[in-house]
A and B are shown apart, each in its own frame.
Chain A
Amino acid sequence: MSDERLKQVSAIRRAMIRPELGAICGTILVFVFFFMIAGDSGMFSPEGIQNWGVVSAQFAIIAVGACLLMIAGEFDLSVGSMIGFAGVVIAILSVQWGLPVWVSIIAAFIVCTALGALNGFLVIKTGLPSFIVTLAFLYILRGLTIWLSILTTRQTIIGGVKEAAEGDPLAWLFGGVIFKGFFQWLGDIGVIDTFTRGSRMGQPVVEGLPMLVIWALALIIFGHWLLTKTRFGNWIFAAGGDAQAARYVGVPVNRVKILMFMFTAFCATVFATCQVMEFGSAAADRGLLKEFEAIICVVIGGALLTGGYGSVIGAALGALIFGVVQQGLFFAGAESSLFRVFLGGILIFAVIMNTYIRRMITGER
């Protein structure tokens, strides 16, 4: 009989108590807060939305990779350095060596996912914590990036990628915008402001949906589907939850972990490529501190630092919170250094709430 009685509660419980709950509450809180303090500053105009939307999407791209890796029980502290490295590889190959941009992009993806695999391989083979192994790569890759950049161009910023990428078939996939017609129409009917002067007169101020945002959405959907619906997703949870127990029932834990390191590196390279295409240049110091920002997004999103538990949707909301807070304080005209104070506060709030929710779900004590 107690069975039936519990079932009635479970419908509400199941809807409410989920890993993302902390991040959902945080998102609502952050939006309400900025509606109040910056609602009339243009933050929620199409231009403003594009501004924090793009920043959030950048965070989301690296957060999806970090999230799946953390659930599989590992960290990657080399994400930031990987971003700088990938960018410089693209710039050197295309601008210095004169290779087509699409070749450079593919080469960067191959080199970086191979480095991700090396990270994973070292972690598995040595049995060292991934924290240490990837910390080493944080330094190694950053140093290599600066050295390579100075060696080939005698400077740490390599420009001219935009010119090289003109008409390139693959560059558009990272730096382009889509739905231009739709946004033009929105501009024509007055939903979006249009330029009133200059060469772009009549064009909408928001040209279209950046491919960066498409990448973020695609990675979020893919990550969420992979984690929650597929066999491989079950193995990700199992590898992080208890690697030995997973091995006993035949889960290829090592393969899962190495693949997740590669996926994290892939996400970092997507981030780097989008950034290089947007700025038209690569710089050796790009991506600084991104590894921690990615981890913060993931943790706000409800993932457990020690692995085995978490949500891609949560991590994506964490990225949204991060982006909105960072840009929102700028719109509100607040002192920009307060951003970190605010973020730290949200981090504590979200983690306390997440711990509480997780205990309710998992019966952890």
Chain B
Amino acid sequence: MSTPLIEMDSIEKHFGPVIALGGVSFNVMEGECHCLLGDNGAGKSTFIKTMSGVHKPTKGVMRVSGQETMFDSPRDAMEAGIATVYQDLAMIPLMSVTRNFWMGREPRKSFGPFKWIDFKHANKVTMDEMSSMGINLREPEQAVGTLSGGERQTVAIARAVYFGAKVLILDEPTSALGVRQTSNVLATIDRVRKAGIGVIFITHNVRHAMAVGDRFTVLNRGQTHGTAKRGEIKPEELQDLMAGGQELAELEGSLGGTI
């Protein structure tokens, strides 16, 4: 077994008297999709933010490719190849696909003291990257607002991959999407994983996780309940773990087994 791309070892995070994370261990390998499941309030957001450099852990060790690391800012995490795609904050809808894609890293041309964005190059790369993700844009200047939710997530993923992400953290990428859009995003995750990138897929939807996940970790009340490999665990068990194994069993009976 090779070294994980990123490894979180017994991470604790306290906000004053509140223990948001109480010793979470988690890792992701090259080319795998590791699903992090948890109900609302389980500590998923805190955990992602710790991994992506927004929060510093109170206790615990973080290793990137085996090296012990501590991120001071999201910028640090990005430079280490850890890209996070947030659910709502992935894209700016009023701006064009190209402008969004290159935001913060615009390619430039210069003449003397004047520097300007090389739009020809930027547009071409955007179109190519998007079509390699299976999305045919009408034109790269079209506003992101005209894209569907699934396409927006895909632009954000394509952007992260293009800029050299080794680990991709996806924060509930499918939670606001319809059936068809969800399957597009899941297909994108699969494509990215096959390119050797480690994907951390955060969701509370067991079926979405089962569709692409290689390993599954459940987070409940700031703690992990172990990690299971694909085939070792049934969807119902994951669901129970997420809910803390209580009331849901009864509820599921009356609903006919699909949540």
* CB contact between A230 and one of B74, B117, B136, B141 (< 8 Å): that residue: B117
Chain A residues with Cβ below 8 Å from B108 are: 231
* CB contact between B117 and one of A7, A231, A238 (< 8 Å): that residue: A231
Q: Are A250 and B106 in contact (CB under 8 A)?
A: no
A115 contacts the other chain (Cβ, under 8 Å)? no
**A361–B141 CA distance with the chains assembled, in angstroms:** 10
Chain B residues with Cβ below 8 Å from A361 are: 143
- Answer whether A245 and B89 are a contact pair too, CB < 8 Å, given A238-B103, A308-B94, A363-B145: yes
- B interface bracket (residues with beta carbon within 8 Å of A): 20 to 34
Q: Are A249 and B104 in contact (CB under 8 A)?
A: yes
A362 to chain B, nearest CB (A): 4
Q: Are A234 and B99 in contact (CB under 8 A)?
A: yes
Question: 1/0 contact trace for B105-142 toward A, CB 8 Å?
Answer: 11010000001110100000000000000001011010
A244 contacts the other chain (Cβ, under 8 Å)? yes
Q: Are A3 and B94 in contact (CB under 8 A)?
A: no
Chain A residues with Cβ below 8 Å from B84 are: 248
Question: 1/0 contact trace for B208-251 toward A, CB 8 Å?
Answer: 00000000000000000000000000000000000000000000
* CB contact between A308 and one of B78, B92, B105 (< 8 Å): that residue: B92
Q: Are A363 and B143 in contact (CB under 8 A)?
A: yes
Chain B residues with Cβ below 8 Å from A280 are: none
- A interface bracket (residues with beta carbon within 8 Å of B): 20 to 34
* CB contact between B94 and one of A7, A250, A362 (< 8 Å): that residue: A362
Question: 1/0 contact trace for B50-80 toward A, CB 8 Å?
Answer: 0000000000000000000000001100100
Chain A residues with Cβ below 8 Å from B146 are: 362-363
With both beta carbons as reference points, the residue of chain A lying nearest to B143 in the complex is identified as A362
Chain A residues with Cβ below 8 Å from B91 are: 245
B95 contacts the other chain (Cβ, under 8 Å)? yes
Residues of A contacting B: mostly? helix
Chain B residues with Cβ below 8 Å from A14 are: 139, 141
**A160–B93 CA distance with the chains assembled, in angstroms:** 53
- Answer whether A245 and B143 are a contact pair too, CB < 8 Å, given A10-B138, A230-B115: no
Q: Are A234 and B103 in contact (CB under 8 A)?
A: yes
* CB contact between A246 and one of B102, B104, B136, B143 (< 8 Å): that residue: B104
B161 contacts the other chain (Cβ, under 8 Å)? no
Chain B residues with Cβ below 8 Å from A249 are: 103-105
With both beta carbons as reference points, the residue of chain B lying nearest to A359 in the complex is identified as B145
A38 contacts the other chain (Cβ, under 8 Å)? no
Chain A residues with Cβ below 8 Å from B116 are: 225, 229-231
Question: 1/0 contact trace for A207-251 toward B, CB 8 Å?
Answer: 000000000000000000100011101110110011011111111
Chain A residues with Cβ below 8 Å from B143 are: 361-363
A269 to chain B, nearest CB (A): 24
- Answer whether A304 and B138 are a contact pair too, CB < 8 Å, given A237-B99, A245-B89, A363-B146: no
Chain B residues with Cβ below 8 Å from A246 are: 92, 103-104
Interface residues of A (CB under 8 A from B): 3, 6-7, 10, 14, 225, 229-231, 233-235, 237-238, 241-242, 244-251, 304, 308-309, 361-364
Question: What are 11 A-B contacts with C-beta separation under 8 Å?
Answer: A3-B136, A7-B138, A10-B138, A10-B139, A231-B117, A233-B117, A237-B92, A241-B93, A242-B89, A249-B104, A250-B78
Those 3 A-B pairs whose CB atoms lie nearest each other, nearest first: A363-B146, A241-B92, A363-B145
Additional A-B contact list (4), CB under 8 Å, known A249-B105, A250-B105, A362-B145: A231-B108, A241-B94, A248-B84, A250-B74
